[in-house]
Structure 1
Amino acid sequence: MSQTQMRLGAFLMGSGHHLAAWRHPKAPAGALDFAHFRRLAQTAERGLFDAIFFADNLALLGSPELASHTTHAEVLDPLMLLAALASATERIGLISTVSTAYNAPYLLARRFASLDHLSGGRAGWNLVTSATDQEAHNFGRERHFDHAERYAQAEEYIDVALGLWDSFADDAFLRDKASGRYFDPAKLHISDHQGEHYRVRGPLNQPRPPQGYPVLVQAGSSEPGKELAARTAQVVFTAQQTLQDAQAFYADLKGRLARYGREPDELKVMPGLSPVLGRTQAEAEDLYAELQDLIEPQLGLALLSGMAGGLDLSAYPLDGPLPELPPSNAMKSRQALFIELARRENLSIRQLYLKVAGARGHCTLVGGPRQIADHLEQWFTSGAADGFNIMPPLLPDGLDSFVDLVVPELQKRGLFRREYQGKTLREHLGLQRPGRR
């Protein structure tokens, strides 16, 4: 595919990304219906998206009282969901978040290899290191790993996974009935990893995945996160509020690749965008107002508190400024983004949670299809993005509208494909299949 065309991911979340989406009359109240997710995946494929993407947490986040006002208690295991969706789709990529902190490397490598085989080469792994003590409590720990420690683990973890995916040469499996030889043992490699954090002998009991490795995705924007992405990732999802910040992040990340022997086009930077879309500007603004009116103040505060190092913001005046925040062991780059946004726009606590409730710090844009397409084009053509992770605030309507209204506008401008050219996620993204290391 021409490098003048952008990539698009569909970041799918139950009822939608807006904090209050599930309360809207057009959203499904529940988030466990496979038919709902099948429809979303098929809509994204109809829109020729590169991939669908699911996030994950390994805990019920927030207090029981606060969580009872959200959909946090209905989160399907994304890898199981994508395995089911693989049989309901044909071309679209399938990206799942899985944490390095609380999953054994062998099991992760095996599951993603399985998904890649079952889908014909469409799997992608979004590497995260988890963020909360609540997740740690579910795995026998009092506290989550410190930020530096969990990124050191992740650096080693990904090398273990790559070694396991390289267990067999591409042509190792003979399946020769006449000779009785199933695979050539000379083409088997046992990595026998012995590291500081992991000891994994291998080999993986599966052939090499169709893509060589599943597409490696990363979402951290801290210094360790960016360095890990520069060394290993093919896609980076990032939260950026302004064109200038997005350009700076893009240049910074692409500038790190050379020291790992990589070319700039080997990594795709895809900022998140939550488009509140209407056929007209007025229609989009009406929808946005409807969603904003459904936000309960305690939930807005809880959203900010989760990014504030656990500081209880309910003790501060809602219409006062954001106080000084303690350093966070969770999402460091997102906390910095919230602080910068509040300071730059002189936002009160209430104004800040209203500003970020739609997409948790990702850019929210309210407008008609041409306005949304203008924004995407400007960022794409000015060195801020290789594509975008679209985060519909309300599902299924938000995805339907984007596919029916914005995609044709992008195609008309020559910025997006009119048909899939390949079959694998790597082919959609314009990435080479890697050889064994």
Structure 2
Amino acid sequence: MSKQIHLAAHFPGVNNTTVWSDPRSGSHIEFDSFAHFARTAERAKFDFLFLAEGLRLREQRGHIHDLDVVGRPDTFTVLAALAGVTSRLGLAGTINSTFNEPYEVARQFATLDHLSAGRAAWNVVTSWDAFTGENFRRGGFLAESDRYERARAFLDTSLELFGSWHGDEIVADKESGVFLTDARAGWFKHQDAHFDIEGQFTVPRSPQGRPVILQAGDSGQGREFAASHADAIFSRHSTYDAGRDFYTDVKGRLARHGRRPEDLLILPAATFVLGDTEAEAAEIAHEVRLAQVSGPTAITFAEHVWNRDLSAYDPDGPLPAVDPLDGEHTVARGRASVRMFGDRLATANEWRERAAARNLSLREVVVEVTARQSFVGTPGEVASEINRFVQDDAADGFVLVPHITPGGLDEFAGKVVPLLQERGVFRAEYTGETLREHLGLAARR
């Protein structure tokens, strides 16, 4: 029997995949954009909508990066509003465990799960940089091991809060109109190296018991954290071979945590470009990449490697002849992509070899090394590839990231989803009410 494909949709806002300058691109902060995107995903019977979190605007050489010019709205506010314009679509938000506090986050997610009748999901992430911490009273930098230790304690504490209401603690006396409440309802006490809290949790047990837990870390500690705690992983391994390796590795970690392979879904982020022919799709994909990597964007990425001010260089000219600077990265503070390149000199030399072999400009090199189109082709070809990935255990489904907001999901919903439904590998109608049911996960009670 064929595996069923899981699909989610990521509202990208303005980031490295977004062609925000395209005339078809609408607002990335007005509610109509979020509502359009969510309604499209629900009409296509997607599992959930996914929002990222931005706790600080990104900077480059002391200036706000152009990808953050529209701002970064609050995740909970947007998801709560979307609960009122959707009825089945799951609502997932990325909320940081490094700078937030368990009581507040648990209260917000429990409330969202009530407001949405059981459709909330939490993507638990850590933050690696002191740059973001400057926005918070605690501030500071946490090493990777400390970040994941705090994340585990944060999630464990939150799960205690979600589970602090037991059975029927609240009984309504209809004659007197008085609610009689068990004095222990919602009571919690948690002490560890990170948190020392005690009191009454204010939100009764929600429809799912707790939100679906997503995780996006890719390090060894991140994978182990997901294997022990998460319901689904938002993975970056969207190519076939890398996807199969990641899938095998993470699923293989589950048994030592007393879990089964079906208890954790692997959902890589994936972009797509559709065309009437394979050649047309490839041409569109190339134009999209050029639009995603403007001249200034190419210089920005190069500065992440060189750790130098490269603003005087021509992005359509040769790569810098100077080598990257060693030491603390001061040019691209707070940019996660800095970590992608590892050894700066090795990366610069690899870029130079690529440019020399094919006479590529700096911008053309960046276009190649940051390529993000996962699926390019006709609707039939894309449907076949997505199905191949899932049936061959390279993924359990995908979190789709369109390059146009908010209408970029429309074509996929109208042309690819029906083909998956015809194959019998994707639902034609929702059969459950909660996100946990959509994902085929066991109830958490």
TM-score range, shorter chain: 0.7 to 0.9
SS at match of 1:388: strand
Change (3 A) 1:321 1:284: farther
Contact 2:29 2:71 in 1 (8 A): yes
1:366 maps to: 376
SS at match of 1:125: strand
Partner Cα distance (1:385, 1:233) in 2: 16
Change (3 A) 1:417 1:151: same
1:97 maps to: 94
Change (3 A) 1:312 1:407: farther
Contact 1:321 1:347 in 2 (8 A): no
Deviations 1:248-269 (A, max 9, x none): 1111111111111111101000
1:25 maps to: 23
Partner Cα distance (1:278, 1:127) in 2: 36
1:130 maps to: 127
Question: How far does residue 78 in structure 1 lie from its aligned partner after superposition?
Answer: 1.4
2:161 maps to: 164
Partner Cα distance (1:101, 1:77) in 2: 17
2:53 counterpart of 1:52: no
2:431 counterpart of 1:418: no
SS at match of 1:269: strand
Question: How far does residue 186 in structure 1 lie from its aligned partner after superposition?
Answer: 6.8
1:401 maps to: 411
Partner Cα distance (1:305, 1:142) in 2: 26
2:366 maps to: 353
Contact 1:15 1:27 in 2 (8 A): no
Mapping of 1:314-393 within 5 angstroms?
314=310, 318=319, 334-335=340-341, 347-348=354-355, 350-351=363-364, 353-355=366-368, 357=370, 359=372, 364-393=374-403
AA matched with 2:367: L
Contact 1:160 1:200 in 2 (8 A): no
1:121 maps to: 118
Structure 1: 5+ residue runs without aligned partners?
none
AA matched with 1:171: D
Question: How far does residue 334 in structure 1 lie from its aligned partner after superposition?
Answer: 4.6
* TM-score (normalizing by structure 2): 0.86
Deviations 1:177-228 (A, max 9, x none): 3476635527635331111011121331111111011000000011111111
2:441 maps to: 431
* Aligned residues: CA RMSD: 3.2
Question: How far does residue 355 in structure 1 lie from its aligned partner after superposition?
Answer: 3.4
Contact 1:57 1:135 in 2 (8 A): no
Deviations 1:31-54 (A, max 9, x none): 121111101100000000000000
Question: How far does residue 409 in structure 1 lie from its aligned partner after superposition?
Answer: 1.2
Contact 1:51 1:93 in 2 (8 A): yes
Change (3 A) 1:199 1:356: farther
Partner Cα distance (1:43, 1:292) in 2: 24
Which residue of 241, 252, 263 corresponds with 1:255? 252
Change (3 A) 1:346 1:45: farther
Partner Cα distance (2:28, 2:177) in 1: 48
Question: How far does residue 162 in structure 1 lie from its aligned partner after superposition?
Answer: 0.2
AA matched with 2:441: L
Change (3 A) 1:279 1:65: farther
Q: What percentage of aligned pairs have identical amino acids?
A: 36
Change (3 A) 1:211 1:346: farther
1:6 maps to: 5
Structure 2: 5+ residue runs without aligned partners?
356-361
Contact 2:41 2:409 in 1 (8 A): yes
2:225 maps to: 228
Choose 125-134 or 181-190, whichever is displaced more. 181-190
SS at match of 1:197: coil
Partner Cα distance (2:264, 2:391) in 1: 16
Question: How far does residue 358 in structure 1 lie from its aligned partner after superposition?
Answer: 6.0
AA matched with 1:9: A
Change (3 A) 1:292 1:153: same
SS at match of 2:32: helix
Which structure would you say has the larger Rg? Answer: 2
Query: How many pairs were matched up?
Result: 427
Change (3 A) 1:15 1:153: closer
Question: How far does residue 170 in structure 1 lie from its aligned partner after superposition?
Answer: 4.0
Question: How far does residue 304 in structure 1 lie from its aligned partner after superposition?
Answer: 6.0
Contact 1:246 1:384 in 2 (8 A): yes
Contact 2:29 2:70 in 1 (8 A): no
Change (3 A) 1:172 1:135: same
SS at match of 1:200: strand
SS at match of 1:213: coil
Change (3 A) 1:177 1:203: same
SS at match of 2:437: helix
SS at match of 1:300: helix
SS at match of 1:70: helix
Which residue of 237, 248, 269 corresponds with 2:266? 269
Partner Cα distance (1:299, 1:366) in 2: 23
Which residue of 199, 210, 213 corresponds with 1:216? 213
Change (3 A) 1:106 1:311: same
Which residue of 122, 126, 143 corresponds with 1:146? 143
Deviations 1:111-136 (A, max 9, x none): 00000000000000001112333211
Which residue of 304, 307, 312 corresponds with 1:311? 307
Partner Cα distance (2:252, 2:213) in 1: 19
